[in-house]
Structures are given as structure tokens and as C-alpha cells.
Amino acid sequence: MKKRTLSILAAVAAALALMASACGGTPTASPTDGPTSSVSPTAGPTGLSRDPIEIKVFRSSDMSQGYTDTLFVDHIREKFGITLKYTYVPSSVATEKLNLSFATNTYDDMLELVSTGDVNRLAKDDFIVVLSDHLDKLSNYVNAYEPADWKLLVDTLSDARNRLYVLPVKEARNSSSSYIWMFRSAEFESVGKPVPKTVEELYDGLKALKAKNPNLTLPNRWGLFNALEGFNLAFRTRFEVWKDPDAGGQIVYGAVTDKFRDLLKYMHRLYAEDILSKEFITMTSEQRMSQFSKGNVYANFQFSGYESTLNRIAKAAGLPEDWTAEDDYLVLTAYPEKGPMQQRWPAFYTFGVALTDRLSGENLDRALEYVNWSCSEEGQIFHEFGVEGESYEIKDGRPVYIGKYLDEKDPDSYFGLIQDYGPFGYYVIQNEDHAALAYPGPARTNIILKDVEVMDYSALPYRFTPEEESRQADLGIVLNQIRDEYIQSFIMGPKDPGLDADWNEYLAKMQNAGLDEYMQILRDANARLG
Amino acid sequence: MIRERGIGSRIIDVVVYSMATMILMLTTFPLLNIVSTSISGNLPVLNGWVGIWPVQLNLEAYTRVFSNWLIPNAFINSVAYTVLSTGYSVLITLMMAYPMAKKHFVLRKAVWILLVITMYFNGGLIPTFLLVSQMGMYDSWMSQVFPLAIAIGNLILMRIFINNIPEELEESAKLDGAQDIQVFFRIVLPLIKPGIATIALYYAVWKWNDFFNPMIYFSTYERYPLTVILREIVLQGSHVDKFMSAAQRASQDASVYVEAYNTRLRYTALIVSIVPIVAVFPVLQRYFIKGVSEGAVKG
């Protein structure tokens, strides 16, 4: 009798505890509501008091460390009662290994740092958990986005039934900025030319410097279209389809606009004057850097902070360290009345986290709880730095690694954080405050350029019908091929973008290849997303 | 009698030697360039000054490659997998070839047909993967040794070698009381050394260069051989620095000449990967040439 009474009391207590925990849940967010303004990290019960579970994680990784460190896994086990069992797969073979694991039914519970394209492909076969059904449990992730960024994410990555399967890694806005112009200012001044603010000033300056140094060149970065980078911002245009603010935000095919023609005329002049390298299409990274080490480059469009690297190159080559990126000269313009533009990169990467159908019921809830916690302020710091006193300490208000972790990870490395995961690295959300400290160059550039108009580099999202998808793909291939041929021909000759006959011939070819139909399909498909 | 050689013959000699020299240069120069680049300074590499001789000798790339755990570990793995799998493959290829060469073996034809079929058809990737996994070999060194142990081409070669051994030798050994196993190890094996050396080299090169199977069957970095790690380095070339520690990265001018430095590291890794297998060839060369030529003309 006594035993029975005790059992009943225990059951009632358990039921009450369950009700209490259900009432005290995490903040909720509906998929249609979008992000709210508050971020509420979930503390969660300690893992030691919960049934232990194991979650197998497939992680595409470039890690080089020996995975003997258990600080990370131990902490998660203690906090959530979850033992994370990682399979680290070199990123170069991640897709093959992923496909094989699903084909042989040996796939893991959680996929980390895998391509969003791979996840969406696997989702078609119902292997992947529909995360848009669980956004109320992922509020920290949702709330980390600005409403516009969140809409773009959902529009870009959801399937035709508006189902989201993957949480792409969110890059901190403070860790990246627009690329900027950097100059050897003293050299411009030495030939009586101002440090450029407009493309014409740049042209005049480079022409004068060419007279002084016949080997002067303007090396591009990795191919035809990268040669246009920087200049396209000055001319407020793009070679691809984008929303042009000068056309009232309408979707346009950039490469057939008058602004793009102006850009081509300018590039044609640079090429004709031998300022733009004759090898600009095929130039390798090494050939390009070689020109810097020979002192033949005077202007460069690169990511913020790169001027210090150029000065180190100059120093090593015995040249003056005269590269500068001055606040007033970070962007160029071709239309002073309209002003310059700066790049704005997508807020999220093309890889992220997904859960597979191996997880269900309580295990799925606990996995979601862990992911959501990792997006909280506490979780972000933990994933990036570990445990205070053990793997990092606060110095001058900034978390820095200590002990062996200091040697295993370079907090100042541009590539370090996202590539060198192990044993720590930011997970799904990169911490903004830390990014501001870790990347002072981009953070400062963002402040300087805060009033400069933005050119959004995110790919436009579309919702095609199956017929449209196939048709636009066919048209796009042909149109882009014609465009590429003509751009080369306009810059290098024999075509001259200044001649109406040549330009009209190009436009006519594009029209004949179905440009209007192509643009109509894209506009309709974009409009469906509201 | 030494026959007088005609002018035509001499011209042909000149043409043949010229072409052979040209082919030699075409194949050697890129290799020399890779070696030289790996041991040259960053600035000469960046500026394209390195031809077949190193410029500003610098062994830093080798120091860095060997001072990180990943590449030496992968190197040891490659050696271990190659030695084990070559030894095992040679052994069972010989033990399969011997009965296949014996006319009195009743099931010879049937077994031979089954074996030859596998030259044209195999189980397919997924069934093979499942089989290997279910036999407990996934993420184990065994996956590199036991599956795919016999290459039928090598089996055919060894059967030809064994066929060429006069029956009388084996008969006389048996008259002296030797068992089949003794005949195999004490009479047959010593007579087919060139063939063994040949297939050993074939197997070793195959296993050393094998990328696909380790990629499929391993799931931990510690077990990957050099081929997988090298591919990662080559494909992720711009981030090759990540294979180094922060302290290594901070030193010297590596961070300045990133492009040249990465190229040197990639080339160094390539040299490290090809030297061992190239070094094996001269040791086996004498047997190898004999083995290939005998296997080709007799049968």
C-alpha cells in the first residue's frame, strides 16, 4: 500500500514538473511573423538530469587539428545530456560522402556546414526535417536576422511549398564590408594628380603615372568579371540581373543598360591605353601579385584592410610602403551627381545546419534546443571560444584564446574563423560584437561608408513554375553567352562600345535571343514572392 | 660479324633518339620545376623566375609540411596501407593463380569464368559499401586491405608465369615427397620472382595512389592516407595555411606572399607523396622489365 501511494505521488510530481516545463518554454516565432526584436537565450536544464542521448553529426570541415580535445563535447553533454559524435569530412569530398551515406541509409542525425543546395536536394526525398515547422523552437536563430535578410533567406532557400530545411550560417555584418579602393596616394601626387574620387580622375592619374612607369598595370582579380568589380559600383551597374535603383528598383538585365555601356567604354579606354593588363582575362593570382611586388600597380580594389598586406609586400620587395586607404577615397564614382555605391553581401552563407529524419520526438526537440541555444549570445561565445578560463579569457574587453587553443587557432586570421573550426569556431550565428573586435577594418569601413548607397550582392530569389524554370534556364545560357562574348569584344576590340552600330548589334542579338521573354519570366517569378 | 649500317638506319636512329630525348625533356622538366619551386624562395616563385633550378634556396615549405601532424600522419597511413594491402594482394593473387594454372583442377574453367566476369562487372558502389560496412571494416585499416584485393589482370599475368614453369620440375619435387604447398613455396615462387615483383609494383602504385576507396571507407581524419589530404590541399589551395598553426603562420613572409607560399606548399606536398613510390621502382626495375616482357610474349 505504501509503495502504491509513493508511486502515485511520484507520478503526480512528474506530471506537475512536465506541465511547469511546458509552460516555461522558449519565446516563439511564427514563420510568417519574421524576426522579433528581442533575443532570449535559453538556459535549458542541465544535461546531467536528463536521459543521455547521442546525436551523430556529419560535419563538412577543413579542420586540421587532432580531434582529441573534449572540452567542447563534454560541455554540451553536461549542459544538454547530448553526446555529439562527429564525423569530420573534408569539404572537398563532402558532397560525395553525403550522397553515399543517404544512398546506403547510413546517414547521420545532423548535418553541419553542408551546402544548402545539397540539403535541399536531399529534402526532395524527405530525408530532412522541415525546419520551418519548428521555427518557434529556433527563435534565437530567427531573431538574429534583420527582417529583410530573413525574408531573403526564406525566399531563397524555401522550396515551392515554402518549406525551409536548412539554417545557413549567418555572417556577422561587422565581419565584412564593401571592398574598397586603395591607392599609392603619394605617387598620384608626385605626378600632379589628385588621389581619385571619380573614375575620370583615376584614368587621368593612371595615364600620367604610365608616362612615368611604362610597366604600370591595373591587374584584375580572377577573370573577366572581376576586372569590372569596383568600376561597376562607380557606374552603378552590374553585368547580371539585379534590381536597379536608377530604374525605380525594377529588375533589369544590367549588361544591356546605358550605364553598362558607359562602363564598357571606360574599360575599353583603359585597355587601349595599356593600363588594364592585356592578360586581364587569364591572369592568375600569382601573376597578379607579381605585379604588386614589382611596384607596377598604383590602384587596387580589395577587401578592407588589404592595404596593409600590400605594404608588407612592398616592404619585402624593397619598395616604399605607400599604399593607403583613406576615408574620403574608399569609393569611386562615374556619376558625381548620383554618387558612388558600395557592395552589400548576403547576410548568410551557402552552407549551414540541417537535421535528418533520424531525429524525431524528444530527440528532435532536444537537438532543436541545442541548435537554438547555440544561436544565443551565450551559445555564440561558447561555440567560438569555449569555456572562459579554460579555452579563453577576456583581455581588454575581447575574448582571446589561452593555452593550447591560442596556437590552434588564429583569431586574427581573415579565413581563420570560418575555415579553422576546430575545436571551436562560430557555429550558426557569428557574434556581431566579437566580429567588430576581430575585424576592425571592415567594421570601421562600414561606419565610414554608412551613408553610401548600397548595391545588394545577394542573388535575387525566384519562385518559378516548372515550365518557367526550364525556359529561363535555356534562355539564360544563350543570353549570358552572347553577353560574355560581347563584353570581351567591347573591352579588347574589335568592337567599340562607343559606336552605336556595334552597341545596337549587341542589343539586337540579345533581343533575338529572347531577352524580353527572359526578363518577363524573372520579374513574374520574383513578384510571386511578394 | 658486324654489319655496316646504312645511312637510312642512321637517320632513323637520330630521329628516334631525338624524339626520345624530347619526350624525356617534356616529362622531366615539369617535374624538375615542381621540385625547384618547392625549394625556392617566395619572391622568385611569385615572379615566375623558377625554371628547372631552384632560386633562393629555401626549405621552409618542407619544414612546415613535416611539422604539422596531418601530413606525416597521412604519410604513415599511406605507407601502412600500401605495404599491408600489397603484401596481402600479392599473396592471394599467387595462391589463386597457382590452381588456375593447373590443368587437372576440376573447376578451373568455371572459376576462371567467374573471375573474368568481375573484370567487366562489379557489385556496384552501394552494395560494396554496405558489404564492407556490415563486415565491420568501415573506418578501419581493413577496408584498405581486404576488399578489392585481387586485380584480375595481375592474376592473368601470374597464371601465365606459372604455366611457363615446366611440369617436370614440380613432378620431380613431388617424387621427392613434396606436398603441393611445398611445391608452391619452394619450387614455383622462386621461379616467378620477376612476375611477383611486377604485380607487387602494380599493386603498390594502385594502392598508393588510391583516393576513392579511402575517401569512401574512412570517416576520421586520423585514418586518411596522403591522397585524400593532398586533394584537400590542392582543392582548397588558397587556404592551405590552415594546415599550419598560428605560430607558423605568423612567421617570416608567408603571410605576405600567400600565393607563392601556397604554391610551394602544394608542390612540396606533391613531392612528398610521389617520392616513396618512385623510390621503389629502381629497386624492382630489373624484375619489373623482365616480368612485363615475359608476361607479354608467353602464354
Segment 52-71 of chain B within 8 Å of chain A by CB: 68-70
d(CA A254, CA A252): 6
**Segment A262-267 mean pLDDT:** 97
Closest CA to A55 of A69, A70, A71, A76: A76
**Segment B20-27 mean pLDDT:** 94
Which has more confidence, A64 or B289? B289
Q: How far is CA B140 from CA A90, A336, A430, B68, B220, in A?
A: 18, 66, 36, 23, 10
Query: Which of A290, A409, A420 is opposite residue B48, by nearest beta carbon?
Result: A290
d(CA A243, CA A421): 36
Which residues of chain B make contact with A287, given a CB cutoff of 8 A? 48
Helix (H, G, I), strand (E, B) or coil at A218: strand
Scanning the structure block, which residue is given the C-alpha cell 546525436?
A55
Query: Which of B48, B70, B255 is opposite residue A64, by nearest beta carbon?
Result: B70
Scanning the structure block, which residue is given the C-alpha cell 585481387?
B150
What does the pLDDT read at residue A42? 44
| Packing angle of the helix pair B258-297, B226-235 (nearest 10 deg) | 140
CB-based contact, A279 to chain B, within 8 Å = no
| Packing angle of the helix pair B125-134, A94-103 (nearest 10 deg) | 80
Please judge whether B133 and A104 are an interchain contact, meaning their C-beta atoms are less than 8 angstroms apart: yes
Q: What is the DSSP string of A184-196?
A: -HHHHHHTT-PPP
Answer whether B152's CB lies under 8 Å from B116's CB: yes
**Segment B133-147 mean pLDDT:** 93
Q: Which of A22-26, A111-115, B62-66 has the lowest mean pLDDT?
A: A22-26
pLDDT band at A406 (very low <50, low <70, confident <90, very high): low
Interface test with B, best of A285, A309, A406 (most B CBs within 10 A): A285
CB-based contact, A312 to chain B, within 8 Å = yes
Chain segment A326-348, per-residue pLDDT in tens: 999 999 999 999 999 999 989 99
Please judge whether A406 and B48 are an interchain contact, meaning their C-beta atoms are less than 8 angstroms apart: no
Please judge whether A286 and B126 are an interchain contact, meaning their C-beta atoms are less than 8 angstroms apart: no
* A13-34 as b/e: b if 16+ CB within 10 A: eeeeeeeeeeeeebbebebeeb
pLDDT greater than 80 at residue A503: yes
Answer whether A496's CB lies under 8 Å from A267's CB: no
Q: Which of A10-19, A278-287, A460-469 has the lowest mean pLDDT?
A: A10-19
Give the range with max mean pLDDT: A63-67, A220-224, A392-396, A433-437.
A392-396
Question: Hey, which CATH number is domain A180-344, 3.40.50.1370, 3.40.50.300, 3.30.70.270, 3.40.190.10?
Answer: 3.40.190.10
What does the pLDDT read at residue A22? 35
**Segment B257-264 mean pLDDT:** 78
Is the Cα dihedral A256, A259, A261, A266 positive or negative? negative
Segment 374-433 of chain A within 8 Å of chain B by CB: 406-410, 413, 415-416, 419-420
DSSP-assigned letter for residue B244? S
Which residues of chain B make contact with A303, given a CB cutoff of 8 A? none
CB-based contact, B15 to chain A, within 8 Å = no
Query: Which of A97, A286, A312 is opposite residue B256, by nearest beta carbon?
Result: A312
pLDDT band at A424 (very low <50, low <70, confident <90, very high): low
A423: cis peptide before it, omega within 30°? yes
Chain segment B227-236, per-residue pLDDT in tens: 888 777 766 6
Query: Which of B130, B229, B245 is opposite residue A104, by nearest beta carbon?
Result: B130
Which residues of chain A make contact with B45, given a CB cutoff of 8 A? 286
CB-based contact, B182 to chain A, within 8 Å = no
Chain segment B268-277, per-residue pLDDT in tens: 888 888 888 8
**Segment B149-153 mean pLDDT:** 91
Give the range with max mean pLDDT: B36-40, B123-127, B256-260.
B36-40
What does the pLDDT read at residue A221? 65
Which residues of chain B make contact with A97, given a CB cutoff of 8 A? 215-216
Question: Hey, which CATH number is domain A33-172+348-430, 3.40.50.720, 3.40.50.2000, 3.40.190.10, 3.40.1440.10?
Answer: 3.40.190.10
Domain spans in chain A, listed from the N-terminal domain onward: 33-172+348-430, 180-344, 466-527
Interface test with A, best of B131, B138, B210, B245 (most A CBs within 10 A): B245
Arithmetic mean of pLDDT over chain B:
83
CATH superfamily of B61-297: MetI-like (1.10.3720.10)
What does the pLDDT read at residue A56? 93
Please judge whether B46 and A406 are an interchain contact, meaning their C-beta atoms are less than 8 angstroms apart: no
Interface test with B, best of A89, A95, A102, A290 (most B CBs within 10 A): A290
d(CA A377, CA A374): 8
pLDDT band at B164 (very low <50, low <70, confident <90, very high): confident
What does the pLDDT read at residue A55? 94
Give the closest-approach CA distance of A268 to chain B in angstroms.
27
What does the pLDDT read at residue A20? 37
Please judge whether B263 and A419 are an interchain contact, meaning their C-beta atoms are less than 8 angstroms apart: no
Which has more confidence, B127 or A13? B127
Q: How far is CA A508 from CA A483, A501, A513, in A?
A: 12, 10, 9
What does the pLDDT read at residue A90? 79
pLDDT band at A124 (very low <50, low <70, confident <90, very high): very high
What does the pLDDT read at residue B292? 61
What does the pLDDT read at residue A25? 34
Helix (H, G, I), strand (E, B) or coil at A198: strand
DSSP-assigned letter for residue B146? S
pLDDT greater than 90 at residue B238: no
Query: Which of A93, A294, A407 is opposite residue B246, by nearest beta carbon?
Result: A407
pLDDT greater than 50 at residue A12: no
Q: What is the DSSP string of B85-114?
A: HHHHHHHHHHHHHHHHT-TT-TTHHHHHHH
**Segment A276-295 mean pLDDT:** 87
Q: Could you tell me the three cell numbers for A269?
A: 579606354
Please judge whether B249 and A92 are an interchain contact, meaning their C-beta atoms are less than 8 angstroms apart: no
DSSP-assigned letter for residue A398? E
d(CA B84, CA B114): 26
Domain spans in chain B, listed from the N-terminal domain onward: 61-297
Please judge whether B68 and A64 are an interchain contact, meaning their C-beta atoms are less than 8 angstroms apart: yes
Answer whether B199's CB lies under 8 Å from B158's CB: yes
| Packing angle of the helix pair B70-100, B108-120 (nearest 10 deg) | 140
Q: What is the DSSP string of A402-438?
A: -THHHHH--TT-TTHHHH--SS----SB--HHHHHHH
d(CA A462, CA A518): 13
What does the pLDDT read at residue A312? 85
Chain segment A125-159, per-residue pLDDT in tens: 999 999 999 999 999 999 999 999 999 999 999 99
Scanning the structure block, which residue is given the C-alpha cell 617436370?
B168
Give the closest-approach CA distance of B61 to chain A in angstroms.
17
Beta strands in A223-276, from DSSP E residues, in sequence order: 241-244, 250-253
Q: Could you tell me the three cell numbers for A72?
A: 567542447
Give the closest-approach CA distance of B260 to chain A in angstroms.
7
What does the pLDDT read at residue B45? 87
What does the pLDDT read at residue A417? 33
**Segment B290-295 mean pLDDT:** 62
d(CA B136, CA B139): 9
Query: Which of B129, B243, B263 is opposite residue A64, by nearest beta carbon?
Result: B243
Give the closest-approach CA distance of A89 to chain B in angstroms.
7
Query: Which of A62, A315, A408 is opposite residue B245, by nearest beta carbon?
Result: A408
Query: Which of B46, B70, B215 is opposite residue A289, by nearest beta carbon?
Result: B46
Which residues of chain B make contact with A318, given a CB cutoff of 8 A? none
Q: Which residue in B has a C-alpha nearest to residue A93's C-alpha?
A: B215
pLDDT band at A30 (very low <50, low <70, confident <90, very high): very low
pLDDT greater than 90 at residue A27: no
Chain segment B44-62, per-residue pLDDT in tens: 888 888 999 999 998 888 8
Q: What is the DSSP string of B44-59?
A: HHHTT--SSS-SS---
Answer whether A175's CB lies under 8 Å from A442's CB: yes
Q: Which of A54-58, A370-374, B255-259 has the lowest mean pLDDT?
A: B255-259
**Segment B215-224 mean pLDDT:** 86
Q: Which residue in A has a C-alpha nearest to residue B130's C-alpha?
A: A104
Give the closest-approach CA distance of A94 to chain B in angstroms.
10
What does the pLDDT read at residue B256? 58
pLDDT greater than 80 at residue A215: yes
d(CA A162, CA A142): 16
pLDDT band at A362 (very low <50, low <70, confident <90, very high): very high
Please judge whether A92 and B133 are an interchain contact, meaning their C-beta atoms are less than 8 angstroms apart: no
Size of interface A-B (CB pairs under 8 A): 107
Interface test with A, best of B229, B239, B261 (most A CBs within 10 A): B239
What does the pLDDT read at residue B291? 63
ipTM of the assembly?
A: 0.74
Give the closest-approach CA distance of B16 to chain A in angstroms.
37
Give the closest-approach CA distance of A85 to chain B in angstroms.
11
What does the pLDDT read at residue A191? 96
What does the pLDDT read at residue A180? 93
CB-based contact, A318 to chain B, within 8 Å = no
pLDDT band at A420 (very low <50, low <70, confident <90, very high): very low
d(CA A421, CA B232): 16
Task: Give pTM, 2 decimals.
Answer: 0.78
